Chain A
């Protein structure tokens, strides 16, 4: 049964992206709107809108029952969760199916299985996909730690079994230092977490974040090559590329085929991404986790492969078989994506909602701007700061970066500060141009390259950043 009417259970730029794909497939659309989102671009583009609750996400886009009730009330037969919010919530997917609708994504049990990091790691190992080497459980004394470290390979990280959030992690290069650190770390873990248990993991000093895009229909899966997302700030991706410039052809082949093996092992259905850490010094890659949804940075893959990932997600969810084979997927050129956020780069990237008083959008060959903006739009303060993604595609990486710089120069967003100045500076940075960066590069570079204020009137409040 083909899908007739799809409910978009998300907002912002990804809601716009989903609506566009659905329209092109001839599927009617209903857009979920919170009380703060009635004027958003997706609400304007959808055939219908459905109110789902107050502004705060916990009462609207995270309220599964309200979303399902709205989808049923408007006669939808499918729900697309987008990314974030409930997109990787197995219970929500289950409820959508129980209500007699299609969940555009993997089966609920796949979401649950791959959402558990330990289970996902085990599945990867069973599929023959390398995971970050570590001790087999906790190490009970110095001798056992040294033996485990020898097998894992130095440098190693000493981690508290009961710890989390990076607390109490120590890094050591050799067995002598390890012997001195183990008792210290154990005593500290005991004091901090009430459990002195320690385990070891390989430490990769200059890790690069690479991830493989897969598409599956529940039986067969293919890869659509990889992306590199090493330019990050506070673990948030800032700039993404496809393909990863750091890989050789042989490494690329091995990496991407490992992702297909894992996707097929779990009978993956829909679009998914397998995240890996790549050690450039040794050429090794290690599976970290799988994201069972569409990702923010999916357009770079679409540009270099010519495949519409969101359309395929919807088609597969509607019951179609994956009509693509691996040999249909060819890499063409290079694409880069800059995340344009409502943040002030001259004030420690403080988020800054406001009204878009003027907007000029870049164009020309190889330029794509996936955005939620229109002139006069009031960016609400209740959700994340992503305004859009500027993507540049060209025959080579050098040309793609030149095109990105040109497009950033044309992009004018008036009324609120954005991360455009950061991206302009990145297109000029030697390490970015050469592709010599790693996941800790951007934060270190920002310390040495403070960005000047773009607008003097923006960001006047004495906002402190705290996490709740």
Chain B
């Protein structure tokens, strides 16, 4: 089992769910497939999905919902 840390591709505000009323895209322990959406980053009022480029199990998030993130900042850990 190797653990990989995935970084934020762009700066902005990070969201874990599609909207405040909805559940998170993925929670700790969930399986992740390539192409799965793990969150959204809001940049200047436009929303960009954070899409998995590798498969595995989500083990940890490094940011909270609505946190400001910088490009390259660790977002989540994936174990495969």
Say whether A associates with B. yes
Chain A interface residues toward B at CB < 8 A: 35-36, 54-56, 58, 342-343, 350-353, 380-385, 461-468
In the bound complex, CA of A385 to CA of B45 (Å): 8
A36 touches B48 (CB 8 A): no
Question: Which residues of the partner chain A approach B51 to less than 8 Å between Cβ atoms?
Answer: 462
In the bound complex, CA of A56 to CA of B64 (Å): 13
Closest 5 CB pairs of A and B: A351-B44, A463-B48, A381-B12, A55-B68, A385-B44
Question: Which residues of the partner chain B approach A461 to less than 8 Å between Cβ atoms?
Answer: 9-10, 48
At the interface, is chain A mostly helix, strand, loop or mixed? Answer: loop
A464 touches B49 (CB 8 A): yes
In the bound complex, CA of A202 to CA of B45 (Å): 32
Chain B interface residues toward A at CB < 8 A: 9-13, 15, 18-19, 40, 42-49, 51, 66, 68
Question: Which residues of the partner chain B approach A467 to less than 8 Å between Cβ atoms?
Answer: 47
At the interface, is chain B mostly helix, strand, loop or mixed? Answer: strand
Question: Which residues of the partner chain B approach A380 to less than 8 Å between Cβ atoms?
Answer: 11
A54 touches B44 (CB 8 A): no
Closest to B47 in A: A466
Question: Which residues of the partner chain B approach A342 to less than 8 Å between Cβ atoms?
Answer: 44
Closest to B12 in A: A381
In the bound complex, CA of A111 to CA of B9 (Å): 41
Question: Which residues of the partner chain B approach A384 to less than 8 Å between Cβ atoms?
Answer: 44-45
In the bound complex, CA of A191 to CA of B73 (Å): 46
B40 touches A381 (CB 8 A): no
Closest to A58 in B: B66
B9 touches A350 (CB 8 A): no
B48 touches A382 (CB 8 A): no
B68 touches A351 (CB 8 A): no
Total A-B Cβ pairs within 8 A: 67
A381 touches B66 (CB 8 A): no
Given contacts A56-B66, A382-B68, A466-B40, contact A351 B11 (CB under 8 A): no
Given contacts A56-B66, A382-B68, A466-B40, contact A353 B47 (CB under 8 A): no
B68 touches A464 (CB 8 A): no
30 contacts between A and B (CB under 8 A): A35-B68, A36-B68, A54-B68, A55-B13, A55-B68, A56-B68, A342-B44, A350-B46, A351-B45, A351-B46, A352-B44, A353-B11, A353-B44, A380-B11, A381-B12, A382-B68, A383-B45, A384-B45, A385-B44, A385-B45, A463-B10, A463-B43, A463-B46, A463-B48, A465-B46, A466-B46, A467-B47, A468-B15, A468-B18, A468-B47
Known: A351-B43, A353-B44, A381-B13. 16 other contacts (CB 8 A): A56-B13, A56-B68, A351-B46, A381-B11, A382-B68, A384-B44, A385-B45, A461-B9, A462-B51, A463-B10, A464-B48, A465-B48, A466-B40, A466-B47, A468-B40, A468-B42
In the bound complex, CA of A285 to CA of B48 (Å): 40
